[in-house]
Amino acid sequence: WLVDQSDSYGKAYGGTLYIYEGSDLKGGDASSAAPTDLLDLGGPTATLCLEKTGTNPVRPHMLAFNVTHSHAVLTFVASGHVVVFEAATRTPVACIRTSAGPGGARQAHAAQPTPDDAYILVANQNGKRVDRIRTDYVTNTFGLDTSLDLANGTTPNGVPMEGPERPDNAPILVVPDSSSSLAFVTLRGGGLFVVDPTATPMRIL
């Protein structure tokens, strides 16, 4: 599954997903491979996002799969949308918008399902937050249920979350460990937080 971040033709939103047969990309003739499916994200995906959030999805960016590969999770970095697709049918089944941070800023730079398939963890880059989406892949039920502010307050050792030691806490990636009990958050200004993604609210360890 390859993401084209360009807008859909004639629109200021959307984009394209190109889906290839993996074996066609092996060997020395990968450039001749043709996609088996092409998804215009300015079509049903945008319609779903507009219905659920009131805004269109802009600039698809990073894509990941849940542990069983039954669903794909696509972030839209400019608008802050996270779209979940049924992988087999290529159908968008959920569109969630990330929470607003300072000045109303929000993005969805990258999202990663936890290995236990309980949550999707979202790097809300300009919102300077980690958002958690609860997941039920069997019933296609998804919803934003908590958010961790990375810019305000103090860490467990009493220093400011964002300050001289960490000048810019915009998260780039949120990577859960194999047990789903920890998540590692890389920061745009340098540094890293270790987070408990199972706590409500989530907390920095």
pLDDT tens for 44-71 read 999 999 999 999 999 999 999 999 999 9
Q: Which residues pair with 63 in a beta bridge?
A: 74
The confidence score (pLDDT) of residue 123 equals 98
Count of alpha carbons within 13 Å of 149, Cβ hemisphere only? 11
The confidence score (pLDDT) of residue 64 equals 98
Contact status, residue 63 vs residue 1, Cβ threshold 8 Å: yes
Residue 182 CA to residue 192 CA, distance in Å, equals 13
pLDDT tens for 173-204 read 999 999 999 999 999 999 999 999 999 999 99
Tokens 């839209």 appear where? Answer: 76
The confidence score (pLDDT) of residue 10 equals 97
The confidence score (pLDDT) of residue 147 equals 97
The confidence score (pLDDT) of residue 27 equals 85
Low-confidence ranges of the chain (pLDDT < 50): none
DSSP 134-184: EEETTTTEEEEEEEEESSSSB-TTSSBSSSSSSS---EEEEEE-TTSS-EE
Q: What is the pTM of this model?
A: 0.96
The confidence score (pLDDT) of residue 28 equals 86
